[in-house]
Every structure is written in C-alpha cells, then in structure tokens.
Amino acid sequence: MCVTAVESRPAGVSGTDISPSHRPFGARVKAFVALTKPRIIELLLITTVPVMFLAEQGVPDLWLVFVTCLGGYLSAGGANALNMYIDRDIDALMDRTSQRPLVTGMVSPRECLVFGITLGVVSTLLFGLAVNWLSAWLSLGALLFYVVVYTMILKRRTSQNIVWGGIAGCLPVLIGWSSVTNSMSWAPIILFLVMFFWTPPHYWPLSMKVKDDYARVGVPMLPVVASNKVVARQIVLYSWVMVAVSLLLQPLGYTGWFYTAVALVTGGWWLWEAHGLQNRAKAEATGGKLKEMRLFHWSITYVSLLFVAVAVDPFLR
C-alpha cells in the first residue's frame, strides 16, 4: 500500500523556530534524552537482563550486566533517534507525537541524525570490545532492522508493519543470552518468539485508541484499514499463540515449576482480557466503552512478570 507524502511540519512549526539563544542547556539535554525514548528502552532491558540470569543459571557477572544494559540503551536509543529523524514529517501532524524534540525545534534534524548514528556506532563498539562480537552484530542488526526495515520500508506501506517490524524489539532477548554464552540456544529463541507474538496484540490496542492520528498521516496501521472486530480477532489469535509458545520452556527443560506457574496465570489473564476486547468489539462498542487500553496496559505488566519469572526460576530449581 502506497501512501501520499505529507509536509514535514504543519504551518508555523519549524525546527528553526527556536533560536539557539532560546534553547537552554537543561532543556536541550532533556530533549536529547527524549530522542532515545527511555520508557520504551526500559521494556527492552526488562527482557534482556532476566535472560542473562537464565543463561547463567544464577547471577551473571554484574559488570557484564551493566555493560550489556548500557550497550543496549545506546543501541536502542540510536535506533529511536533515527526513527524520529525519518518520521519527523508525520510526527508533526500527529497529536501524540507533536511535542517530540524535532517537532518543537529543540533539536535540529541534523543534530538528531548525527546523534543517532553516533549512538549506534558507540554501542556496536562497546558490545564488540567489552562483551562479544556476536552480541555486537545482533545489536547492530536490531538497530538497522528497526530503522530501515520497519521505519523506512514497512511502516507507511503495509498493515503488517508492526508484525514484522517488531522483530527488532525481540532481538534484546537473543542479546541477553549471547552476552553470557557467546552462543545461541533454543531457550532464547523461544523467548524471542514469545516477544514476536506479543508485539502485535500489545501495540494494536494502542493503535485502536489513536487510529485517527495514523489515518491523518496515511500510516496503514491495522486498526486504520480494518474494523475493530477484525483487529480484535487478530489480537486473540496472536495471544493464544504467544501463551502457547511461552509454555514450551518447561517441557524442553529450561525452566521449572515457578516460571510455568507464572506463565499460566499471567497468560490466562491475558487471554481473558483479549477475549473481553473481542466481545466488546463484536458488540460494536466504541470510544471509552471499547476499553482497548486495558489490554495495552496489561501487556506491559504481563511481559514484566513473565521475564521476572525467567530470572527467578533458576534459583528455585
């Protein structure tokens, strides 16, 4: 699906509207931090560190944990900054992104581009020199996949953008494992798949909430091009596969009773919320009655609890 190009900024908004003298140092620092999207990175690190505990079957080297987290933050931050550089045209037209640093002019496009590339280079070298080169290439691959495949190719062309683009957000699981073992195994691949099937039903409820924003700029998120009934059905399908995959770790011998119990309880609650959303969509509920954000908020709690269980389980076996 092709989309029509839009103006880089709405009338009266420009990166040059704020002169250097009106950009105080403190505000500038906050703006550059905002370019990295810290709240999103928190979620990525939640999936990275517990896998390191699983790989070590105990407490990993704390210096390694620190360097892996730092490298992961820099890599994801660089990807997010480059994403904002590429999407600055549509960010200026969407309500939920209208205060991003490039839109307000607190950071110039050139500064953002240099900042994002620098973070990517530094993170790759940090991983390669202080962790291992397998982790470095995985980190660089995640950055390039998010920037090139998702942001530049998929996002404005297909309603399946978040399905395949979400692969970038799954790679921290592999990075956490490889940072400890310098190898791969079925355990991180299973958790990678959990995150792969988690991403669409995590993001689509939010997209349902702000679909008018996406429609305004021609981004074909699934809720823009399909009815709430269709989106909810897809959410339920992905949710069932995600929960099923999450239960594979125990029969393959990677986890014990604790992880399995947490996966069953949290997965069961997820399915309850997903089917609730589907029932409300079938009843043609709209606005606040659809309550789509209930599943979105639970999805963050779910992945946090599941990966905490991944980290705790080795100590209870």
Q: Where are the domains of the chain?
A: 32-180, 185-316
pLDDT, residue 40, reads 86
pLDDT, residue 249, reads 97
Q: Which positions of the chain have pLDDT values less than 50? A: 1-16, 21
pLDDT, residue 317, reads 83
CATH of region 185-316, choose from 1.20.120, 1.10.287, 1.10.8, 1.10.15: 1.20.120
For domain 32-180, give the CATH number.
1.10.357.140
pLDDT, residue 25, reads 86
pLDDT, residue 18, reads 57
pLDDT, residue 24, reads 84
Placement of tokens 């980290």 in the chain: 311
pLDDT, residue 19, reads 55
Whole-model pTM above 0.85?
yes
pLDDT, residue 10, reads 39
pLDDT, residue 4, reads 33
Q: Distance between alpha carbon 21 and the CA centroid of its chain, in Å? A: 35
